[in-house]
């Protein structure tokens, strides 16, 4: 049972309680408890954003995040929320990300800052009015629809002036992504898709301190609980250094917007949003939750900070897509497997769209895991949901994948 100090802001959590609390914050205690686009939108609004990555091996990262929370999720739902319903926006938050459209004003500083840092500015500024006029007259366009193909220096390396200008106008908020054709972005004017009251809204955080406090709250909400020390969840896209971050946490603590927690076995405090204290109540009562299984995305919010994952869940995970094949410990695109409050395995799935086949190339149990019938039953349920999400009609097991799976 968690005990409280005399200060209401200090909590003591066992490691098990901390794990379950994080999973509850992530709608993974239990998984797949949400439904439809409404459930997906509720989740993204809760965590602020989900990270986007264009690799599509068994679905893209944002889709993988949602399939583990939303029972009936399909990739079409996310496309509709982004490009038809316009409830979500492609933007830059935790690196490339997807966030609710109502958060648009809070990134004004980011958009203005990015514009000041962009390379090839003279060439981009010179051509931007021409590109805007082309989109006004012709509608949504890609870089291949424009004639400005000579190379300029750009963030990702030399690229066409058309692409640099489009990306500059996109990062600066003049353009949004109208839709995508595979990985190709089709751009349109932001004013055609972002409501005027959001597009023209003033900066909600006038001072640096206001902005830092908002950012700290956003990152805590994105994960559920973060420790005080510098970590990837704080650092990626961070607008402040460690000294400023600690000052922000102290201000939020004094105002009662965050709580401080000491977790069993850790010598550094953790912080969580006060709003999430309600999620602790069933955990403190030790209310049972079915031991269900789920497959997590490689850039899932739960594992934004891998040292926390390793120390709290005992699960070492590195995304090896950029690791040379001969140096990979596991595989190219490997997903963690959650069962109850534990990460019990990892596996490498591949979808073949042409014949609607899901292939599991390999499977690795964590040390100390002895699978029983309850675990296999939970995995079978998760695998059926995973196959429906991918539109797979056939399952192929390879390598060390247990033959018992999917039977």
Quick one: residue 322, left, alpha or beta (phi over 0 = left, psi -120 to 50 = alpha)?
alpha
pLDDT tens, the chain, 407 aa long: 444 443 444 899 999 999 999 999 999 999 999 999 999 999 999 999 999 999 999 999 999 999 999 999 999 999 999 999 999 999 999 999 999 999 999 999 989 887 777 766 788 888 999 999 999 999 999 999 998 778 888 777 888 999 999 999 999 999 999 999 988 999 999 999 999 999 999 999 999 999 999 999 999 999 999 998 888 899 766 778 899 999 999 999 999 999 999 999 999 999 999 999 999 999 988 888 779 999 999 999 999 999 999 999 999 999 999 999 999 999 999 999 999 999 999 999 999 999 999 999 999 999 999 999 999 999 999 999 999 999 999 999 999 999 999 87
What pLDDT score was predicted for residue 312?
Answer: 97
Exposed, middle or buried by CB within 10 Å (0-12, 13-18, 19+), for 245?
A: buried
What pLDDT score was predicted for residue 4?
Answer: 41
Residue 113 domain-assigned (yes or no): no
What pLDDT score was predicted for residue 119?
Answer: 60
What pLDDT score was predicted for residue 8?
Answer: 43
CA distance 168 to 132: 12
Last-in-domain residue among 139, 158, 193: 193
pTM of the model: 0.95
Residue 90 domain-assigned (yes or no): no
**Containing structural domain, residue 141:** 118-193
Last-in-domain residue among 141, 168, 193: 193
Residue 241 domain-assigned (yes or no): no
Residue 325 domain-assigned (yes or no): yes
Last-in-domain residue among 144, 174, 193: 193
Decide: 102 and 81 in contact? Cβ < 8 Å: no
Residue 373 domain-assigned (yes or no): yes
How many domains, in total, are found in the chain?
Answer: 2
Look up the CATH number of the domain holding residue 391: 3.40.630
Residue 268 domain-assigned (yes or no): no
Compute how many other C-beta atoms are within 10 angstroms of the C-beta atom of residue 181: 8
CA distance 171 to 397: 43
Residue 240 domain-assigned (yes or no): no
Look up the CATH number of the domain holding residue 186: 1.10.10
Q: Which two tokens stand for residue 308?
A: 């926390």
Residue 346 domain-assigned (yes or no): yes
């Amino acid at each position: 049972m968690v005990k409280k100090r005399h200060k209401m802001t200090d909590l003591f959590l066992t490691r098990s309680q901390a794990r379950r609390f994080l999973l509850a914050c992530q709608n993974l205690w239990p998984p797949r408890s949400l439904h439809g686009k409404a459930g997906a939108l509720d989740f993204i609004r809760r965590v602020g954003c989900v990270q986007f990555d264009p690799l599509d091996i068994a679905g893209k990262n944002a889709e993988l995040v949602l399939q583990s929370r939303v029972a009936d999720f399909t990739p079409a739902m996310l496309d509709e929320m982004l490009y038809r319903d316009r409830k979500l926006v492609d933007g830059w938050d935790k690196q490339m990300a997807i966030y609710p459209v109502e958060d648009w004003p809070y990134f004004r500083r980011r958009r203005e800052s990015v514009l000041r840092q962009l390379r090839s500015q003279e060439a981009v500024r010179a051509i931007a009015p021409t590109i805007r006029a082309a989109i006004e007259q012709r509608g949504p366009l890609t870089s291949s629809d424009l004639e400005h193909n000579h190379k300029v220096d750009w963030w990702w390396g030399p690229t066409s002036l058309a692409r640099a200008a489009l990306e500059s106008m996109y990062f600066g908020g003049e353009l949004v992504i109208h839709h995508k054709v595979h990985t190709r972005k089709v751009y349109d004017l932001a004013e055609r898709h972002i409501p005027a009251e959001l597009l023209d809204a003033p900066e909600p955080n006038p001072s640096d301190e206001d902005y830092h406090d908002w950012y700290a709250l956003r990152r805590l909400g994105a994960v559920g609980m973060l420790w005080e020390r510098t970590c990837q969840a704080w650092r990626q896209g961070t607008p402040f250094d460690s000294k400023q971050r600690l000052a922000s946490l102290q201000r939020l603590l004094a105002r009662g917007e965050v709580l401080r927690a000491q977790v069993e076995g850790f010598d550094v405090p953790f912080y969580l949003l006060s709003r999430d204290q309600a999620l602790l109540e069933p955990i403190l009562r030790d209310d049972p939750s079915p031991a269900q299984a789920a497959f997590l995305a490689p850039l899932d919010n739960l594992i934004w900070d891998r040292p926390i994952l390793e120390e709290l869940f005992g699960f070492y995970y590195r995304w090896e897509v950029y690791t040379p094949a001969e140096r990979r410990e596991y595989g190219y695109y490997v997903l963690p497997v959650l069962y109850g409050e534990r990460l019990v395995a990892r596996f490498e799935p591949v979808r073949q769209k042409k014949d609607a086949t899901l292939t599991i190339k390999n499977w690795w149990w964590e040390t100390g895991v002895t699978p029983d019938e309850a675990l296999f039953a939970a995995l079978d349920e998760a695998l059926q949901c995973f196959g429906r999400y991918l539109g797979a009609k056939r399952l192929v097991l390879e390598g060390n994948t247990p033959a018992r799976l999917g039977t």
